């Protein structure tokens, strides 16, 4: 609830600024399609439910809807299962349900599906680190996390290079092997 109270006023202010700049002042948004400030779309975005009902998106405001969706799912994933394997089962079931809602009914924003594994991995890491049982050695977990972050950074760099400079992806396995062997 504290997070909602912190996020919503800033989000509403950002929506208000968008309406003033691109709606009332009629300034062109540039390279994006014009904003849709119809009443139904504004009510959807004011509620923060655009992550669940991804229609008539206001450019770059989809992420708040995805955060709201994740806040709604968090108690089910983090507190209903009693152990780590239960968390994996529940989170996987929810993911399949979200995929079905997206594929068959057009519900659930694509961004929610893209960021869901990262969201669940945060819950799993929290459960591993703060478990009363020693599931994993803390040093091993820190090394694994730092290696994962390095690998994610390299993947982002490679994708950026590929997009802007037509980078050859055939060198990627060599880079990954080098990182794994040096213990990133």
Residue 170 has pLDDT above 70, yes or no: no
The pLDDT score that the predictor gives to residue 36 is 81
The pLDDT score that the predictor gives to residue 162 is 62
The pLDDT score that the predictor gives to residue 179 is 65
C-beta separation of 77 from 90 below 8 A: yes
pLDDT tens digits, residue range 130-154? 776 666 666 767 776 777 777 777 7
Q: Angle at Cα 96 formed by Cα 94 and Cα 54, nearest 5°?
A: 85
Give φ, ψ of 134 to 5 degrees: -85, 90
The pLDDT score that the predictor gives to residue 57 is 74
The pLDDT score that the predictor gives to residue 39 is 87
Q: Angle at Cα 38 formed by Cα 36 and Cα 43, nearest 5°?
A: 105
pLDDT tens digits, residue range 31-64? 766 678 888 888 988 888 899 998 877 777 888 8
Q: Angle at Cα 158 formed by Cα 120 and Cα 144, nearest 5°?
A: 40
C-beta separation of 99 from 91 below 8 A: no
Of the candidates 14, 42, 16, the one whose C-alpha atom is nearest the C-alpha of residue 50 is 42
pLDDT tens digits, residue range 77-115? 999 998 888 998 999 999 999 999 988 999 999 889 888
The pLDDT score that the predictor gives to residue 163 is 63
C-beta separation of 99 from 109 below 8 A: no
Output the pTM of the full model: 0.69
């Amino acid at each position: 609830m504290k997070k909602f109270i912190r996020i919503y006023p800033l989000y509403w202010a950002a929506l208000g600024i968008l309406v003033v700049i691109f709606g009332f002042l009629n300034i062109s948004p540039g390279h994006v399609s014009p904003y849709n400030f119809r009443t139904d779309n504004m009510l959807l975005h004011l509620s923060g439910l655009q992550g669940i009902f991804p229609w008539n998106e206001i450019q770059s405001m989809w992420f708040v809807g995805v955060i709201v969706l994740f806040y709604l799912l968090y108690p089910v994933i983090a507190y209903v299962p009693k152990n780590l394997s239960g968390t994996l089962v529940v989170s996987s079931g929810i993911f399949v349900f979200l995929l079905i809602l997206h594929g068959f009914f057009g519900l659930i924003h694509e961004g929610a599906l893209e960021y869901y594994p990262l969201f669940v991995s945060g819950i799993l890491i929290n459960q591993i680190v703060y478990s009363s049982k020693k599931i994993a050695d803390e040093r091993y977990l820190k090394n694994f996390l730092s290696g994962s972050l390095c690998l994610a950074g390299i993947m982002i760099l490679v994708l950026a290079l590929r997009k802007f400079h037509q980078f050859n992806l055939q060198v990627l396995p060599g880079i990954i092997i080098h990182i794994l062997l040096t213990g990133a």
